[in-house]
Amino acid sequence: MKIFPEPTFQPSFLKLLVGQKPSACAQITGNATNPGLHGMVYFYSVPQGGMLVEAEVFGLPKQNVQNSSFYGMHIHENGNCSLPFEKTGNHYNPGNQPHPDHAGDLPPLLSNSSYAYSAFYTERFDADDIIGRSVVIHLHPDDFVTQPSGNSGTKIGCGVIFKV
């Protein structure tokens, strides 16, 4: 019995994450309310096309009595992370698509005990498209419905994307 009838990219993804230098990255810092929030987001160019995105974030605020919470994460137009992150602009959306089809719409982060790790594949952009823009973490998860930005709330973390 075959579990995966199609070839999988997992071996090449693991090779990228373990042994290759990313094409771009963003160092995340928190806002004034969340000064302990910090982390890194790495962008790896995939030989078959697209990007592998890896995010590791520490110090996320607890939203409820449970130890796990969801947070919105997006690429924004502008690479200006001066506090309070109001100059990041809108979601990166070169195709002028409705939300959640912006190139900058990313999967939510799942935090456990204030820590989140995520890795995912996307074909919505390549490294050259996003260098100089910003990765923004929002206090609430994206609802994937509300226009134009998913009602994800306050910008609590930000990092400018730069070429490695």
pLDDT top residue among 98 and 4: 98
Averaged confidence pLDDT in the chain: 91
Stretch 23-47: mean pLDDT: 96
Over residues 102-124, the pLDDT tens digits come to 999 999 999 999 999 999 999 99
Segments of 37-114 assigned E as strands: 38-45, 51-58, 68-76, 109-112
Work out the burial of residue 80: count CB atoms within 10 Å of its CB; fewer than 13 is exposed, 13-18 middle, 19 or more buried. Answer: middle
Distance separating alpha carbons of residues 68 and 110, to the nearest angstrom: 7
Give the pLDDT of residue 83: 95
Give the pLDDT of residue 10: 80
Give the pLDDT of residue 9: 78
Q: Nearest-CA neighbor of 137 among 157, 120, 153, 152?
A: 157
Distance separating alpha carbons of residues 99 and 63, to the nearest angstrom: 24
Assigned fold of 24-163? Immunoglobulin-like (2.60.40)
Structure token digits, residue 35: 């000064």
Task: Look at residue 8 and tell me whether its pLDDT is greater than 80.
Answer: no
Give the pLDDT of residue 18: 84
Rg (CA), the chain: 16
